[in-house]
Amino acid sequence: MSGLGYRETKMRVLAKDIGQYEGKEISVSGWIHRVRELGQISFLILRDRTGLIQVVCDEKVSETNETVLTIIGEVQANEKAPGGYEIHLKEKTVLAEAASDLPFPVNQDPEKIGIEAILDNRSISLRNPKIKAIFTLQSDLIRYFGDFYRQNGFTEIKSSKLIGHGTEGGTNVFEVEYFDTKVFLAQSPQFYKQTMVSSGMERVFEISHAYRAEKHETARHINEYVSMDVEMGFIESEMDLIQIQKDLMKYMFTQIRKNNQAELDAWGATTPDPELCDKIPVISHDEAKKIVSERLGKRVFDINPEAEREICQWAMEEHGIDLVFINEFPRKKRPFYTYPKGLKTMSYDLVFRGLEITTGGRRINQYRMLQETLPKFGMTEEELGDYISIFKYGCPPHGGFAIGLERLTQKILGLSNVKECSLFPRDRKRITP
RNA sequence: GGAGUUGUAGCGAAGUUGGUUAUCGCGCCGGCCUGUCAAGCCGGAGAUCGCGGGUUCGAUCCCCGUCAACUCCGCCA
């Protein structure tokens, strides 16, 4: 069967293409999305990965919804058909029957289905076109991210998710049995992407899972998420990273508007104006606290979720875009490897529509500075293992950032829970499907 | 780890100031209808009202416990 792998089987025409076959007999395959019976005539709506096809039948349709069929028939143009074309049935072959006790109707608006039912029955809920749109967009987000960085001289890497020792701190990690010892699931590819900068590759990106053993239960957390990571050498400060992320956001929003209108429409969503990405405000952590305190009429000591929502409101009102960079985070709020700037750091967050989607910053690259810093965080060189040797033998100034893929997807489409943007989400309770 | 809200049919919800056959929409089963667009119309099946205990003549409703889900906080992407 070699050669057929990525093509359709011999005769199959996809839903999006049937208009090209007017007057011809074709074969289409897919799932029964819906049936409308009107006595002597029935409309069978067949669904494939590209859309819906109306099949006109002269007889009753006895198969249940979600049965998998191949239909052979003639394509006819008809103003009354959705999309202008329909197929008049000649031959119908059942490829796989579907039981009639679906957990919920696939052809219904998913807003009317609870998140628990959606996630418990993933193989069914993903058939819903609106839910499928989430992951069509997500797949493209991954592509745009990768394309942007490849175009800018970055190399894609895949690092190990099994970490022997040397955790970054600031979060809990999962322990895993590893032969006769224990390892940890990577909370980020942080050390490995820095290793690659030091190795001479200079600019790298990685798109892969990250694991956080945090016992939280919120609409913005999952314990396994896809991290889109970047690290680049020869920068001066976090401002270089902020600039490249502005360009990245502009590129991604432009591509989405060009290629993903259908997915946006499915959710009634729109991206921020790509042209405004150059003007995303950059404010310091102190300024952000001040702005939020004034607006909320109470003293704010931290950029908590409420403050994140408020600061985006502010950015929208003042700059017409609901994205805002917050830089110069205090040292104690950042990991040990963050490059200091007085009592502050060369680091930043990007908040999008009220939710933090990125943390980034310059890293300490001088061996001496790192040695001096470790004790302040209660750490030793031994604990960090191989990490330390990255710097001992010449590592350029560098920094990077990461975007949470599910959070980005969620905020673009305006979904209320990040779990809806993970195919098979893992949270504190959920480990299946 | 803390706080709050909610558990009623396969799914989404209403309701009972404690009372006899627990309601609606979707889905499911059967029937009618030749142009439907979430088709329409008629009929039907399907619920020990999350679970356990208590109060009461009587509990789906009140009380206690328990389990689960969701939302929020700390922390984070």
Query: What are A362-409's pLDDT values in tens digits?
Result: 999 999 999 999 888 888 888 787 888 889 999 999 999 999 999 999
Contact of A314 with A322, CB cutoff 8 Å: no
Stated in angstroms, how far is A415 CA from B17 C1'? 39
Stated in angstroms, how far is A221 CA from B51 C1'? 30
The conformation of residue A200, written as its DSSP 8-state character, comes to: I
Tell me the nt nearest to A222, Cα to C1': B77
Q: Among residues of chain A, what percentage have pLDDT more than 90?
A: 73
Nucleotides of B under 7 A from a protein CB: 1-3, 10-13, 25-29, 32-40, 68-77
ipTM of the complex as predicted: 0.87
- Angstrom CA distances, A109 to A63, A102, A112, A266, A337, stand at 22, 15, 6, 10, 47
- Angstrom CA distances, A7 to A52, A68, A178, stand at 20, 19, 41
Query: What are A97-111's pLDDT values in tens digits?
Result: 999 999 999 999 888
Q: What is the pLDDT of residue A3?
A: 40
Number of other CB atoms surrounding residue A430 within 10 Å: 16
Count the residues in chain A: 433
Stated in angstroms, how far is A110 CA from B26 C1'? 12
Helices (H), A152-197: 190-196
| Structure tokens given for A300 | 């704010």
Distance CA A16, CA A143 (A): 22
What percent helix, strand, coil does chain A show, rounded to 5? 35, 30, 35
Distance CA A366, CA A337 (A): 10
Q: How confident is the model at residue A4 (pLDDT cuts 50, 70, 90)?
A: very low
pLDDT at A216 over 90: no
Query: What are A293-307's pLDDT values in tens digits?
Result: 998 888 888 888 889
pLDDT at A273 over 50: yes
Mean of the pLDDT values across residues A166-178? 74
Query: What are A183-207's pLDDT values in tens digits?
Result: 889 999 999 999 999 999 999 999 9
Stated in angstroms, how far is A127 CA from B11 C1'? 16
Tell me the nt nearest to A105, Cα to C1': B27
Which residues, in sequence order, are CB contacts of A420 under 8 Å at separation 6+? A115, A118, A131, A134, A410
Q: Among residues of chain A, what percentage have pLDDT more than 70?
A: 96
Q: Is A140 exposed, middle or buried (0-12, 13-18, 19+ CB in 10 A)?
A: middle
> For residue A275, which amino acid is it?
E
Tell me the nt nearest to A224, Cα to C1': B77
Q: What is the pLDDT of residue A5?
A: 47
pLDDT at A426 over 70: yes
Contact of A362 with A238, CB cutoff 8 Å: yes
Q: What is the pLDDT of residue A147?
A: 98
Which residues, in sequence order, are CB contacts of A185 under 8 Å at separation 6+? A161, A162, A163, A173, A174, A176, A211, A213
Query: What are A70-129's pLDDT values in tens digits?
Result: 999 999 999 999 989 999 999 999 999 999 999 999 999 888 888 888 998 999 999 999
Contact of A384 with A82, CB cutoff 8 Å: no
| Range in A260-274, A279-293, A374-388 with the lowest mean pLDDT | A374-388
| Structure tokens given for A428 | 């504190």
Tell me the nt nearest to A425, Cα to C1': B77
pTM of the model: 0.93
Q: Which residue is nearest to nucleotide B27 (CA to C1')?
A: A105
* CB contact burial A188-225 (16+ within 10 A = b; e otherwise): bbbbbbbbbbbeebbbbbbbbebbbeeeeeeebbbbbb
Residue given tokens 């909320």 in the structure block:
A296
Mean of the pLDDT values across residues A47-60? 94
Stated in angstroms, how far is A62 CA from B46 C1'? 22
Instruction: Find the distance separating the first CA and the last CA of chain A, reported in whole Å.
Output: 31
Handedness of CA A173, A212, A168, A180 (dihedral sign): positive
Half-sphere exposure of A333 (CA within 13 A, CB side): 20
| Chain mean pLDDT for chain A | 91
Query: What are A293-350's pLDDT values in tens digits?
Result: 998 888 888 888 889 999 999 999 999 999 999 999 999 888 899 999 999 999 999 9
Stated in angstroms, how far is A393 CA from B77 C1'? 31
Q: Which residue is nearest to nucleotide B72 (CA to C1')?
A: A218
Q: Which residue is nearest to nucleotide B38 (CA to C1')?
A: A108
Tell me the nt nearest to A80, Cα to C1': B35
Handedness of CA A109, A113, A119, A122 (dihedral sign): negative
Q: What is the pLDDT of residue A292?
A: 92
Q: How confident is the model at residue A217 (pLDDT cuts 50, 70, 90)?
A: confident
pLDDT at A165 over 80: no
Strands A347-352 and A323-327: antiparallel
Q: What is the pLDDT of residue A8?
A: 56
